[in-house]
Amino acid sequence: MPLTPQATQDLSLDIYSEVIDVRSPAEYAEDHLPGAINLPVLNNQERAEVGTTYKQVSAFMARKQGAALVSQNLAYHLGHHFADKPKAYHPLIYCWRGGQRSHSMALVLTQVGWRTTLLTGGYKTYRTYVRKQLEQLPYHFSYRVLCGLTGTAKTEILQALAHKQVQVLDLEGVANHRGSLLGAAETSGQPSQKLFESKLLIQLQAFDPDRPVWVEAESSKIGECYVPQALWKQMKAAPGVEVQAPMMSRVAWLLAHYDHFTQNPGLLKDKLNQLQRSYSKAQIQDWHQLIDGDQWSDLVRSLLEQHYDPAYCRSMKHQYANVQQSYNLSDLSTVSLQQLVLALMNLDISVLT
């Protein structure tokens, strides 16, 4: 009896040889199932051309055009990606809604003799699952919020805690952004909101509900990525620990960790120009003059005193009012940070309620 593609809505992905996303590269880049590979049956341009034919000519002509393109792309994938797959190979295949694109690949692979499974509802089934999980899962954990003015090495402290097997939710890492005007990654952009949520869910699902989760005191928006409401609500209510450090230590730390701006003064000026609605032209010009004069320490101190520190104080007052313990560091040396990490690890969690 010939094989036929199976169908499932179960997202237990580890039972398959591979998870294959047959959507266009642009759709895949926006978001995809964890670990899925992209073998498009229509590339970005082809998908747009078929859509234009559908709207401007007819559905029949679009299907005929699409079928020819899909056949060519499937032939390519068979001759390359699938060329060395064994008889026991068993992929899960999906497209946007579980429609023609995924069925076309599943049918061909099944005719070859491989057992294939289609994700019923396609990517939309997965997206519904992610949304529901992010509405519920954040409530399963207790959180500890690490607070501190800009330049107090909060990210590095959390990374050190993670290396000690402490549970840490790295929101800035997931968002690929340091959470401020100058926080964009140097070489790559942020994920889409959907991909941000997919990556966030993976981190949450790896945590043990019986152990606390440390997270930095972020705003509800990190760059262009929004923290899901359930998680944001839990973060604001969680007990906090604040790190304090001298101004000059913070300045030195920021200069060491944001040196790409000192190497690209034009980019820094463009960023600061975005503050024109909040500050006078004279203040913006003053910052520009400090840049032109390579007065980097004075610039960073001015930005902290005029912009970052006041913004932090406003945020803490309205968003993170539950700070229960403070650590005043004499400097931000490796020794000081290591001592702080040990103190946080030994902190009596019962007193932070």
Residues 146 and 126 in one domain: no
Q: Residues 93-108: what's their mean pLDDT? A: 96
Residues 104 and 209 in one domain: no
User: Does some domain include residue 66?
Assistant: yes
The CATH number given to whatever domain includes residue 227 is 3.40.50
Residue-wise pLDDT tens digits, 256-274: 988 888 888 998 999 899 9
User: What DSSP string describes 209-266?
Assistant: TTS-EEEE---SEETTEEPPHHHHHHHHHS-EEEEE--HHHHHHHHHHH-HHHHT-HH
Q: Residues 59-79: what's their mean pLDDT? A: 96
Q: Residues 123-152: what's their mean pLDDT? A: 97
Dist. CA 294–CA 299, nearest whole Å: 9
Residues 146 and 125 in one domain: no
What does pLDDT average to over the chain?
Answer: 94
Residues 263 and 287 in one domain: yes
Residues 183 and 286 in one domain: yes
The CATH number given to whatever domain includes residue 99 is 3.40.250.10
Q: Which of 131, 152, 181 is the last residue of a domain?
A: 131
pLDDT of residue 189: 87
pLDDT of residue 304: 96
Residue-wise pLDDT tens digits, 303-320: 999 999 999 999 888 899
pLDDT of residue 232: 96
User: Does some domain include residue 136?
Assistant: no
Residue 351 has pLDDT above 60, yes or no: no
Which of the residue ranges 118-127, 176-185, 237-246, 290-299 would you say has the lowest mean pLDDT? 176-185
Residues 126 and 146 in one domain: no
Residues 325 and 186 in one domain: yes
User: What DSSP string describes 73-136?
Assistant: HHHHHHHTTTTT--TT--EEEE-SSSSHHHHHHHHHHHHHT---EEETTHHHHHHHHHHHHHHH
Annotation marks residue 95 as catalytic: yes
Asked if 34 contacts 11 with a C-beta cutoff of 8 angstroms, the reply is no
pLDDT of residue 353: 57
Please give the residue range of the domain that contains residue 308.
141-351
User: Does some domain include residue 199?
Assistant: yes
Residue 2 has pLDDT above 90, yes or no: no
Residue 170 has pLDDT above 80, yes or no: yes
Q: Residues 93-118: what's their mean pLDDT? A: 96
Residue 348 has pLDDT above 90, yes or no: no
> In the chain, how many domains are there?
2
Residues 116 and 43 in one domain: yes
Residues 160 and 271 in one domain: yes
Residue % of the chain over a pLDDT of 90: 86
Q: Residues 193-216: what's their mean pLDDT? A: 97
Residue 181 has pLDDT above 80, yes or no: no
Which residue of the set 95, 147, 225, 313 is catalytic? Answer: 95
User: Does some domain include residue 343?
Assistant: yes
Residues 157 and 237 in one domain: yes
Q: Which of 85, 103, 131 is the last residue of a domain?
A: 131
Residues 93 and 17 in one domain: yes
Q: Residues 108-137: what's their mean pLDDT? A: 97
Dist. CA 108–CA 71, nearest whole Å: 10
Q: How confident is the model at residue 183 (pLDDT cuts 50, 70, 90)?
A: low
Q: Which of 131, 159, 177 is the last residue of a domain?
A: 131
Q: Residues 275-296: what's their mean pLDDT? A: 94
Residues 71 and 184 in one domain: no
